[in-house]
Structure 1
Amino acid sequence: MAPGGDTDRDDLGQVAELLANPCARDILVYTAREAFSADELAARCDASRTTVYRQLDRLEAADLVVPTVQFDPEGHHFERYRASLDRVTVDLDTDGLSVTVDRTDPPNDAVDRLEGLFNRLR
């Protein structure tokens, strides 16, 4: 899907299918405010880790969530997810249906920049 632009009919189906899933919707709502790990999302969504990971994979493939690497003080790392979806608009006109997906840029603070640098060096 093109960021911020009209998508084709296949993308309309993909977005509609994703948004029809209650777990995917919950993930988008929670991660719109702040980044969460899959385990945190499983607890908040009252869903299994497998279900959450499946929905995160689908949302990430559609560019609706963005993973970031989080480091803990002991040197371990894990992924946290943040929604990149801002708005979905469906328009009906004489040419048919079109969908516009507006995305937000993920936060780019010092930690994000350092993590990005670290990932590029690996």
Structure 2
Amino acid sequence: MHDRDAAPDLQTVLDALDDADCRDFVQALEEPMTAGELSEACDVPRSTTYRKLDLLTDASLVEEVTEVRADGHHRSRYRVAFEEIRMRRDEDGELVVRIRRPEPEERGPEERLADIWSEVRRET
């Protein structure tokens, strides 16, 4: 469970971006997809897909959202959680990463509902 506004750890972001499968996932996620859909689209075994998605979510580059379905069988989908990544040196000379997120108003009502439902699931 990650705070979407928190600054991610630089090494975690670099590790995710250094992984070819992770980069392929980010490119494939033009629309939210399930792990199975990503696995198939990128020709990556499903067990590997889950590990790579964990790496991406730890880096705050991808987020898991719950797709609320009328039949009660909700499912997780993954979407890209950034628009831009910047790295710079701070006043102490340390490298820091900043991630620019999509503006909330850019998300449609279905995405906002999925965000709310995902947050409820995290808190329970």
Same fold at TM > 0.5? yes
Post-superposition shift, 1:57?
1.4
Structure 2 counterpart of 1:22: 20
Tell me whether 1:120 sits opposite 2:117 in the alignment.
no
Please show how residues 1-122 of structure 1 align to structure 2 within 5 Å.
3=5, 11-31=9-29, 33-72=30-69, 74-91=71-88, 95-105=93-103, 108-115=107-114, 116=116, 120=120
Does the residue aligned with 1:57 lie in a helix, a strand or coil?
A: helix
More contact order relative to length (CA 8 Å, sep ≥ 6)? 1
Pick closer, same or farther for the CA change 1:72–1:98 going to 2, 3 Å. closer
Q: Which consecutive residues of structure 2, in runs of 5 or more, have no partner in the other structure?
A: none
Identity, % of aligned pairs? 30
Post-superposition shift, 1:65?
1.3
Amino acid at match of 2:14: A
Tell me, in whole angstroms, the C-alpha distance in 2 between the residues paired with 1:70 and 1:61.
20
Q: Which consecutive residues of structure 1, in runs of 5 or more, have no partner in the other structure?
A: none
Flag the structure with higher strand content.
Answer: 1
TM-score norm. by structure 1 comes to 0.73
Amino acid at match of 2:109: A
Tell me, in whole angstroms, the C-alpha distance in 1 between the residues paired with 2:118 and 2:23.
31
TM-score norm. by structure 2 comes to 0.72
Aligned length, in residue pairs? 117
